[in-house]
Amino acid sequence: MRIVYLHQYFRTPQMSGGTRSYEFARRLVQRGHEVHVVTSDTDSVPDVGPTWRTTVEAGVVVHWAAVPYRNAMSFRARISAFGQFARLAAARAASLEQDVIFATSTPLTIAIPAVYSARRRRVPMVLEVRDLWPEVPIALGALRSPLLRRAATTLEVWAYRNAAHVVALSPGMAAGVRARCPGATVTVVPNGCDRHLFADADTAGRALRDRTPWLGGRPLILYAGTLGLVNDVGYLVRMAATLRRDHPDVRVALVGQGAEAAHVRALAVESGVLGRNLFLLDQVSKAEVVAFFAACDLAVSTVRDEPALHANSANKVFDGWAAGRPVAVNHEGWIADVLRRSGAGLVLPAGDPAAAATLVGAFVTDPARTAAARAAARVVAATEFDRDLLFERFEQVLQEAARQRRTIDPKVRQSPQEAANRS
């Protein structure tokens, strides 16, 4: 197949952030498909240098548009970035030969260039939903205007109706898509565990502990991800305050950047934990974060106490399991269900960081409990969320969508790999 893959925030392992698109795209190339990724160069400087640059990453041709973006941007600046990328990506995507176009949100505005290219090229479009939008921004108060809410809901339904297939990252997201568009064909392909990336994680984790004086052999709780409004990392600062009193040897590390970084730092200073039992570290690349997960005794994923966020599929959860480490979340939903069923971590009480500190402190200081949870985490990573297993499902979705085009137009060229498979 010739696949155009739209993702505004595409990341390689040498960059910070999730690498789901990179991992799927490079596997598609290994299977003999031709893949062009259209994305944004989020660190670019406005109006400086060329609009586009092109690189090849693990056989994937990546087209980078100069559209700056940061989590700390204002809502208006983000909307502007979404619109600018949609305009540039539409023209670039439509210029590429393709049998199917795949677009992954957020933002949902990614559907605009995807539908444009699909119509121009007369190919099917597959849409991936990483968050329920606009339910999440409405719940967070980012979309207050009734006019903006109506426009966002209209865009959502339009995107689903124009998709030959929808990929959802969790069962809750799939249910949300079907509620909006009952006729949609939806497949759940959650985030995955890159077990090859974490194969030698224990060695990296020991080295990190040895070179980090404040850590050494002490228990470590890790949050590695965005410090944004959605993430409610202040929950962990307050938890650390109770841990300092009841379990002074336990360390909490927050690795990342985001719009709430300054607020989190101020709260940590106010709570008397910064540099004592809680440590704020800058974001690192996907390759470098392996050592942090391997060094921790418990990886944590937090979100604000909003039901709309319970369907999330946070990368940090799956990275924790890939490293063979227990995971804790502070919300209900499908991840909480997996944790309770498997024993691969903890479900912490929403809105009660002091109670969470009691649970976490008892857990990370109990070697038998942590050992059992580590074993469970490895089982979950291997049997339910292994990236290679999930890729098989993902590729099948794209192949089925591409077949729809061939059913309509049998003259559409097959790739050599597909011709060989049919022979």
Whether 379 and 398 share a structural domain: no
Edge to edge, what strands does the sheet with 278-281 contain?
Answer: 278-281, 251-255, 220-224, 298-301, 327-329, 345-347
Cβ proximity of 262 and 229 under 8 Å: no
Torsions phi, psi of 223, nearest 5? -120, 120
Q: Which residues contact 70 (CB under 8 A, 6 or more apart)?
A: 42
For residue 266, what is the domain's CATH number? 3.40.50.2000
**What per-residue confidence (pLDDT) applies to 353?**
98
pTM comes to: 0.92
Q: How far is CA 327 from the centre of its chain?
A: 16
Does 178 lie in the same domain as 275? no
Rg (CA), the chain: 22
Same domain, 76 and 130: yes
How many separate domains does the chain show? 2
Verify that 87 and 63 share a domain, yes or no: yes
363 and 262, same structural domain?
yes
Q: State the residue for tokens 């490293």.
A: 323
Q: In what order do the strands lie in the sheet with 165-168?
A: 52-57, 60-65, 34-40, 2-6, 100-104, 125-129, 165-168, 186-188
Say yes or no: 259 and 379 in one domain: yes
Instruction: Based on the fold, state whether residues 9 and 42 are members of the same structural domain.
Output: yes
Per-residue model confidence (pLDDT) at position 45: 78
CA distance 200 to 319: 13
* Residue 188 sits in the same domain as residue 235: no
Quick one: tokens of 7?
């993702």
Q: Average pLDDT of each block of 10 consecutive residues along the chain (423 residues)?
A: 97 95 98 98 80 97 94 83 96 98 94 98 97 84 85 95 98 96 97 96 97 98 96 98 98 96 98 98 96 98 95 97 98 98 98 98 98 98 98 98 70 46 40
Q: Tell whether 15 and 131 lie within a shared domain.
A: yes
Range of the domain at 342: 201-383
- Whether residues 361 and 253 share a domain: the answer is yes
pLDDT, position 409: 53
Looking at the structure, do residues 179 and 32 belong to the same domain, yes or no? yes
3-state helix, strand, coil in the chain (%, to 5): 45, 15, 35
Please check whether residues 379 and 396 belong to one and the same domain.
no
